[in-house]
Structure 1
Amino acid sequence: MKRHLALLAACLPLLCACSQASVPEQLTLYTDSVLVECGGFTVPGSIACFQTYRLPENTPYHRFFRNEIQGFTFEAGSEYTLLVSVKRIENPPADGSSLEYTLIGVLDQRRP
């Protein structure tokens, strides 16, 4: 019985870490009204990227946000405040992101 308790106590931190890793984080992002050109990693030339800022700090989230936000359709000329969930991908592709972004809601959309 003591061996089983010792084994359970040793594995408990691992079990807790696994359950927390799969819980998506929520993030509020502001996007600028235009996409900017940024270099592709595997594709020659450039691709269009968001300029994003983390709110409420209003600090740059990524200089060039290359990821797709699932469920979000960008309309040029509009600035957005978005609530997104961020989930860590356990085994991302070699040329892909380790984070998956999903739109929870558009908090604000305005034309500057």
Structure 2
Amino acid sequence: MMKIKHIFIASFILLNFSCSNDNENSMNSMLWIDSERVSCIDVGEQTCYRIQENDVINENDWLLFYDGIEGFDEQYETGYTYKISVTKIKLKNPPADGSSIQYKLNKILSKELDE
């Protein structure tokens, strides 16, 4: 019985360390995605999202976003402004020519037709 208790305690400790490590490497964030992708140059010419991490959209605060958003790229439609919840994951071994952050869609919070 004592052996099972020790295994349970060791498992619990390891689980807590692995979970806290994940939390240190990821965080949730809210992004605005503009209704049009724009031409941009990274390694080569491509199209980029324009994003903001503000509470409300400020027309002067759009930033170019060179990467994709896992789970969102397939759903994006030109002409709509999106407010989305994402998880930002800090990559342990990022590619030399890429971002050190991976973005994953949690939820589309709003999708409004741009007028």
The one of 31, 35, 38 equivalent to 2:33 is 31
What one-letter code is carried by the residue in structure 2 that aligns with 1:81? K
The one of 95, 99, 102 equivalent to 2:101 is 99
SS at match of 1:96: coil
**Alpha-carbon shift at residue 69 of structure 1 (Å):** 0.4
What one-letter code is carried by the residue in structure 2 that aligns with 1:25? M
**Alpha-carbon shift at residue 58 of structure 1 (Å):** 4.3
**Alpha-carbon shift at residue 30 of structure 1 (Å):** 0.5
- RMSD, aligned CA: 2.2
Q: Which runs of 5+ in 2 are unaligned?
A: 1-16
Structure 1 segments of 4 or more deviating over 6 A?
none
Deviations 1:42-87 (A, max 9, x none): x2xx211011011316464x72101110001210111100000000
Name the % identity.
27
**Alpha-carbon shift at residue 21 of structure 1 (Å):** 2.8
What one-letter code is carried by the residue in structure 2 that aligns with 1:63? L
What one-letter code is carried by the residue in structure 1 that aligns with 2:81? E
> TM-score with structure 1 length normalisation?
0.73
Q: How many residues align?
A: 92
